Amino acid sequence: MAVLSDLSAAIGLVGWDREVAMPPRGAEARGRQLGTLATLVHRELTREDVEDALVALEEHDGLDGDARAMLAESRRVRDRALRVPEALVRAEAEASSRCIAVWVEARPANDFPAFAEALRPLIEVKREIAGALDIGDEPYDALLDEYEPGARARQLEPLFAELRERLVPLIQPARERSGALLPERRWPSAQQMDLADRISRAVGFDLAAGVISISAHPFTQGNGPGDVRFTTKPDESDPMVSILSTLHELGHALYEQNFPIGYDRTVLYDAPSMGAHESQSRFWENHVGRLAAFWRFIDPDLRARFPEQMADLRAEDMQRAATRVTPSLIRIEADEVTYNLHIALRFGLELAMLRGELEVGDLSEAWNDGMERLLGLRPATDAEGVMQDIHWASGSVGYFPTYTLGNLYAAQLTEALERDLGPLEDLVEAGEFAPVLTWMRTHVHDRGRRVPTGELMREATGHELGVDAFVDHLRRAYVERA
């Protein structure tokens, strides 16, 4: 476990460098280096003496609960690795490399047929991998299970159906009460990064064990308790993007910084799933960062760094810009009300592809029809439609639903936290983030990967996974507001 943890940290750092520091001509070799490291992980996992060790431990009587959980998770990870033949691993790496390369060119050129031709063999390989893994009730489940262990398509379908049904009617009333964009002015990057630093310290991120940097696509990367990093991306025309992305990544980073120290260098030093991880980023981004109280709290910090830009703006104006609702074609620009409809569309399409009910070549039309049905917008180009995300091109099929699971869990966690601590609004207004973080530590972070997400969330919130808390939150924040 320790060797795998060290290798995974090396992969993390080499990947971090790719986004943050690598010169353009380094890309090709970097891909090969990461491929070699992944091969070594596979080799370490599938060594025969690992089997002997696992069997010996499985037959051992004296293991405590933590050790049993480590053993079970190690076995699960090894089984996954053993089930997929190396030829299939290589085939996926090649198909996704090619598909990414095609996507990079096809997106700006709006060339869906080229993209479809590269995506088709990749989906085929994913289906073969799903067959080899043989997890769940249908091929899609095996792919989903990689990101969200235990989740199944048949459990997600009614969830997304209910979401669609309850979200669509909220859009119009939310738009009617929506605020204005910020007026045009320039917000220097250096000041935005300084603010990111200030916000991070305020909510409890330990910068002696952390780094904040800049990359084109913000992300978080944890390398054990002493080294957790995240990036943001200052947009000089709009500070909102980097403030909210800082809070989002901070949610991930605080989680990574607070796994139980006793699990360091084991398979349990992790979140139980991507959905659980996303619950933390969405909590800080949406349930803290879009509160009026948050904008009052950081108002002095904003003014200190942007005295001229803020001269005619009130905290309220900032909060209204942060909660603006307007249906958009692009997922990563979506507001909190419409975001999950973007995910519902993607989930439905990837599931249909894996079930053989949708041809890759028909994806563009199905996408455009779905967008029109859900958001009343029809993409004029595939660049702002089916080709907008890198996920499918990179082989991440079954990943999208975890974003929505994160949103649902975040709302349920917020309800439970407020039952224990009182209104979040009051805590945030006073800058009292410590009890909030402590609550999350106790109920989420401290479990590491020891228990499955469903169980962890049930114990933390007292409820099964559902959409009520989330829809209630949206109604209060977007429909019932003044």
Q: Which range binds its own copies by CB under 8 A, 13-21, 137-145, 330-338, 452-460?
A: 13-21
Radius of gyration of the chain measured on its C-alpha atoms: 22
Contact indicator for 93, 35 with CB cutoff of 8 Å: yes
Residue 16 vs 347, nearer CB to its own copies: 16
Question: Do you know the residue count of the chain?
Answer: 482
Could you give the CA distance from residue 155 to residue 158 in angstroms, rounded to a whole number? 6
Known catalytic residue at 350: no
User: Does position 3 bind its own copies by CB under 8 A?
Assistant: yes
Number of C-beta neighbours around residue 298 at 10 A: 20
User: Does position 448 bind its own copies by CB under 8 A?
Assistant: no
User: Does position 55 bind its own copies by CB under 8 A?
Assistant: no
For helices 433-443 and 401-421, give the axis angle rounded to 10 degrees: 120
Measured from the CB of residue 265, what is the shortest distance to its own copies in angstroms?
A: 8
Among 136, 139, 224, 260, binds its own copies (CB under 8 A): 224
Could you give the CA distance from residue 250 to residue 246 in angstroms, rounded to a whole number? 6
User: Does position 14 bind its own copies by CB under 8 A?
Assistant: yes
Residue 47 vs 463, nearer CB to its own copies: 47
User: Does position 42 bind its own copies by CB under 8 A?
Assistant: no
Among 74, 192, 220, 223, binds its own copies (CB under 8 A): 223
Instruction: Count how many Cα atoms sit within 13 Å of the Cα of residue 382 in the half-sphere of its side chain.
Output: 21
Binding to its own copies (CB under 8 A): which residues in 229-258?
Answer: 229
Measured from the CB of residue 44, what is the shortest distance to its own copies in angstroms?
A: 8
Residue 264 vs 299, nearer CB to its own copies: 264
User: Does position 262 bind its own copies by CB under 8 A?
Assistant: no
Contact indicator for 140, 351 with CB cutoff of 8 Å: yes
Q: Which range binds its own copies by CB under 8 A, 23-31, 69-77, 311-319, 325-333?
A: 23-31
Measured from the CB of residue 207, what is the shortest distance to its own copies in angstroms?
A: 7
Contact indicator for 363, 382 with CB cutoff of 8 Å: no
Residue 22 vs 67, nearer CB to its own copies: 22
Site string for its own copies, 292-331 (x = CB under 8 A): ----------------------------------------
Site string for its own copies, 179-218 (x = CB under 8 A): ---------------------------xxxxxx-x-----
Which among 190, 202, 268 is positioned nearest to 445, based on CA atoms? Answer: 268
Contact indicator for 160, 351 with CB cutoff of 8 Å: no
Contact indicator for 338, 375 with CB cutoff of 8 Å: yes
Residue 114 vs 202, nearer CB to its own copies: 202
DSSP letters for 173-184:
HHHHT--PPPPS
Name the phi and psi angles at 232, rounded to 5.
-140, 175
Measured from the CB of residue 17, what is the shortest distance to its own copies in angstroms?
A: 5
Joined together, the tokens standing for residue 287 give 């349930």
Size, binding site for its own copies by CB under 8 A: 43
Active-site residue, selected from the candidate residues 146, 148, 249, 350:
249
Backbone conformation region of residue 353, classed left if phi is above 0, alpha if psi is from -120 to 50, else beta: alpha
Q: Are strands 220-222 and 210-214 parallel, antiparallel or unpaired?
A: unpaired
Could you give the CA distance from residue 270 to residue 210 in angstroms, rounded to a whole number? 17
User: Does position 2 bind its own copies by CB under 8 A?
Assistant: yes
Could you give the CA distance from residue 452 to residue 460 in angstroms, rounded to a whole number? 12
Binding site for its own copies (CB under 8 A): 2-3, 6-7, 9-10, 13-14, 16-17, 20-30, 32-33, 35-37, 39-40, 206-211, 213, 223-227, 229, 264-265
Q: Give the residue numbers marked as catalytic.
A: 249
